[in-house]
Chain A
């Protein structure tokens, strides 16, 4: 079975630009979460979507947005990029909404903002 897939794997943007990151969950998983991992730190929660509805939001500015599609895939959008947005963006899928079960992570999209 395919795991969580993310695209693109690497990308370079300049300040002020916009970026869209994509995630396909494991088949049958209805929950998708997004995390930002800055170099040298642990992942920080950005969003969780379950059954196409936002179920949780971390402490990130409104420049960050996301959505989940009927096939449970998801997009993370970041507007007006800042240098500090440079990070590894991880997507995780799970069966449960309550995050007491295992999270299955993709390999991430590495964003560099110049």
Chain B
């Protein structure tokens, strides 16, 4: 069994300040973890993924995430928010040993103020 919990439904930041979107997961197997972004009326786009290589993963648009097995966390960060980062962000787990069906979190809405 696997699950994903995104700890904040909304995160509000000012442009130029750091972004932290929190994600905890549970999985009976070694997980693959992903962050996807969804802009209004658009499909989802992959930001980054972790698949048992380096625990610090760098993605597109300056985002990165750190896999912490001891804390079962995969938080998404960015040093400096841009207005164009305003969107819905989804944390996803897909575990080996099972059926590889991806499980999505409920999403975190990132609001960026000028």
- Asked if chains A and B come from one complex, the reply is yes
Binding site for B on A (CB under 8 A): 4, 35, 40-45, 48, 56, 58, 90, 92, 97-103, 105-108
Residues of B within 8 A of A41 (CB): 106-107
Asked if B43 is at the interface (CB within 8 A of a chain A CB), the reply is: yes
Name A47's closest neighbour in chain B (CB-CB).
B101
Is the beta-carbon distance between B46 and A102 smaller than 8 angstroms? yes
With A and B bound together, what is the CA distance between A92 and B105 in angstroms? Answer: 17
Residues of A within 8 A of B4 (CB): 42
Is the beta-carbon distance between A4 and B100 smaller than 8 angstroms? no
Is the beta-carbon distance between A4 and B90 smaller than 8 angstroms? no
**Interface size band for B:** 20 to 34
Nearest Cβ on chain B to A55's Cβ, whole angstroms: 8
Asked if B73 is at the interface (CB within 8 A of a chain A CB), the reply is: no
With A102-B46, A105-B44, A106-B43: A44-B32 Cβ-Cβ less than 8 Å: no
Name A108's closest neighbour in chain B (CB-CB).
B43
Given contacts A98-B94, A99-B101, 10 further A-B contacts (CB under 8 A): A42-B4, A43-B104, A44-B104, A56-B99, A99-B100, A100-B51, A100-B100, A102-B46, A103-B44, A103-B102
Nearest Cβ on chain B to A110's Cβ, whole angstroms: 9
Query: Looking at the complex, which one of A40, A43, A99 makes contact with B44 (CB distance below 8 Å)?
Result: A43
Query: Looking at the complex, which one of B42, B94, B107 makes contact with A42 (CB distance below 8 Å)?
Result: B107
Asked if B45 is at the interface (CB within 8 A of a chain A CB), the reply is: yes
Is the beta-carbon distance between B101 and A4 smaller than 8 angstroms? no
Is the beta-carbon distance between B49 and A4 smaller than 8 angstroms? no
Is the beta-carbon distance between B96 and A4 smaller than 8 angstroms? no
With A and B bound together, what is the CA distance between A106 and B41 in angstroms? Answer: 11
Is the beta-carbon distance between A45 and B106 smaller than 8 angstroms? no
With A and B bound together, what is the CA distance between A56 and B90 in angstroms? Answer: 21
With A and B bound together, what is the CA distance between A108 and B41 in angstroms? Answer: 8
With A and B bound together, what is the CA distance between A48 and B94 in angstroms? Answer: 14
With A42-B105, A42-B107, A100-B94: A105-B43 Cβ-Cβ less than 8 Å: yes
Residues of B within 8 A of A4 (CB): 43
Nearest Cβ on chain A to B73's Cβ, whole angstroms: 18
